[in-house]
């Protein structure tokens, strides 16, 4: 019985709060505008999608990926094809060879937008250096060793 009384009291309170002198008018509601950045960060994407991790932060005994400096020899169309299909500029189909890069390209990187691919390409062309690669590779020594390599 007490619950019924409480529910009725709450209901009456809500009804009275909703009815006011300007019942037909509603207060304007501010809507937050969310817009995508017009230019995605190639540096951020290179770290998020794993370019730096596979090519510079993974011990070569685990993954022998070439240095990202190799991208500086790729034109944008060649790089786009690599990320979407896993095919290198010389025509090697890394997916057909069962390469991790080929699989990642087809299954994950192929979902990047043209703007994202452009941003990554521009970063690797202009912002990636041998010195930066060396800094990333130096981090390997600070990581715990993989359990399968422990003796």
C-alpha to C-alpha distance for 114 and 124, rounded to whole angstroms = 15
Q: pLDDT per residue over 2-46, tens digit each?
A: 444 444 444 444 444 444 455 555 656 665 554 556 789 999 999
Full-model pTM: 0.71
Q: CB-based contacts of 83: which residues, under 8 Å, 6+ apart? A: 105, 109, 110, 112, 117, 120
Residues linked to residue 87 through DSSP beta bridges, in sequence order: 93
- Residue 45: closest CA among 118, 116, 124: 116
Average pLDDT, the chain: 83
Q: pLDDT per residue over 43-101, tens digit each?
A: 999 999 999 999 999 988 888 899 999 999 999 999 999 999 999 999 999 999 999 99
- Residue 109: closest CA among 92, 84, 81: 84
């Amino acid at each position: 019985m007490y619950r019924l009384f409480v529910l009725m009291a709450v209901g009456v309170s809500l009804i009275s709060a909703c009815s006011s002198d300007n019942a037909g008018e509603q207060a304007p509601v501010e809507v937050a505008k969310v817009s995508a950045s017009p230019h995605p960060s190639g540096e951020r994407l290179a770290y998020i999608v794993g370019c730096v991790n596979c090519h510079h932060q993974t011990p070569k005994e685990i993954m022998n990926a070439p240095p990202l400096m190799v991208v500086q020899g790729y034109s944008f169309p060649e790089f786009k094809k690599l990320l979407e299909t896993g095919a290198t500029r010389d025509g090697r189909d890394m997916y057909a060879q069962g390469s991790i890069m080929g699989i990642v390209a087809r299954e994950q990187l192929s979902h990047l937008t043209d703007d994202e691919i452009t941003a990554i390409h521009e970063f690797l062309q202009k912002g990636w250096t041998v010195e930066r690669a060396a800094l990333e590779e130096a981090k390997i020594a600070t990581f715990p060793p993989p359990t399968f390599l422990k003796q």
